[in-house]
Structure 1
């Protein structure tokens, strides 16, 4: 791995995930850095979403899932018994494949996190957080006159940007995105890609994507997964132009996947 100036925001070492008897992730080690977007690519069912979910303990919600290995956020063990999972998920936000706004107003979707985490000292501060988050998510101009409308009434692309606004409203340190554009049209996808580019200086971002062109456009580092294993991990330009592993080359050139 190439050395980066700053220490990694998150480190994963020898991570394994089992669903009952089935092993979904096999001995994966990776670093996630601020100022970089890390893309996880690979065929369907290769474990990239499962691995993404280990980074904020979302697999804890699956009774048969077991995770082992060492995952740290700023050198804190996120699986330590004293780790507050609610707090962890505020620090490591998640945007899912299918937009999932709360059945509340647009305003309340964004205000919900800051309110429960006590990040606003009053209504004016909450208003400012909502506006800033919607602005950062590229949605403010489209919804500023209809903040009391339901979030579920927005278009798919707008709903996904609302979910991104909701994730960034609690000022996380890392944002995980699980195929955030797979349900969106090309225009909405372009807006989200532009947004990822703008957000990367502020957060460490990890994105799972099926779209290799998207990985090449938005990420600085790429991890290629196959059958639960991390086959290759490095600078995106290297992975796409000069992969070291034959399996990576076969996947990039479309021989399988």
Structure 2
């Protein structure tokens, strides 16, 4: 596929507000090993932001730093500043449970709870006290499934197990689960890598529909996918942020030779 074709879907949408996430000088260590080296980036609600780069380049590690998922790894340590609406998410007073409600995560492999479809969606709003009674909870479940493009497929089987759904449906269920707690940011770590092309297309359509309502960051190994769904692309290599800009520019007129070499398939 030609680079110009890759960038056809990338719209040049300029931000109209302050960044939702501001990261400055962020380094991530696993023990003595530095996985991310002094990365600075702004993420806006108006854009879908894609992180691309070869395996092991640090893009998923940086994504996990944005909602403190690296806290679950004993050897992990984060330096630098990551702000959500101007508030440092690594300050000692930050409620991490609340942070992860505001900055949701969708993982590479669909991971529905071993509960009913209804309970998969209702669980988060219930524990966060977002619904007063079953009527409000029912409304949240329906709205979340509708936004995830799943309601029509499951509305008559809400009591069935979420794990009984197909892989693509499970991933949309996980997106609906993230949406249900009214997040501000959705992080997606290769959400389509385990899915077939039809399910992948549905997830990509969903990402486009959700853009502007949430700040969305997606890690992907597929440059075609990055071009289709994102308006900003960040290219990572060996723990460094090599280049970040309009998706169309990254794919058709990159500033850095390393970016050009990766886009044209000279290494990967």
In the alignment, is residue 104 of structure 1 matched against residue 115 of structure 2? yes
Distance in 2, matches of 1:106 and 1:227, equals: 40
Distance in 2, matches of 1:183 and 1:136, equals: 22
Distance in 2, matches of 1:224 and 1:165, equals: 28
- Unpaired runs of 5+ residues, structure 1, are none
Q: CA deviation at 1:185?
A: 0.4
Q: Paired residue for 1:233, among 244, 248, 258?
A: 244
Distance in 2, matches of 1:194 and 1:87, equals: 28
Distance in 1, matches of 2:199 and 2:146, equals: 16
In the alignment, is residue 5 of structure 1 matched against residue 16 of structure 2? yes
2:67 corresponds to which residue?
A: 56
Distance in 1, matches of 2:218 and 2:178, equals: 14
Q: Paired residue for 1:154, among 122, 147, 165?
A: 165
Distance in 2, matches of 1:123 and 1:201, equals: 29
Distance in 1, matches of 2:247 and 2:52, equals: 11
In the alignment, is residue 196 of structure 1 matched against residue 207 of structure 2? yes
Q: CA deviation at 1:45?
A: 0.3
**Residue deviations 1:131-172 (CA, integer Å, cap 9, x gap):** 010011011111111100011111100000000000000010
Distance in 2, matches of 1:236 and 1:198, equals: 18
Q: Secondary structure at 2:94's aligned position in 1?
A: coil
In the alignment, is residue 89 of structure 1 matched against residue 100 of structure 2? yes
Q: CA deviation at 1:5?
A: 2.2
Distance in 2, matches of 1:113 and 1:130, equals: 10
2:187 corresponds to which residue?
A: 176
Distance in 1, matches of 2:103 and 2:133, equals: 25
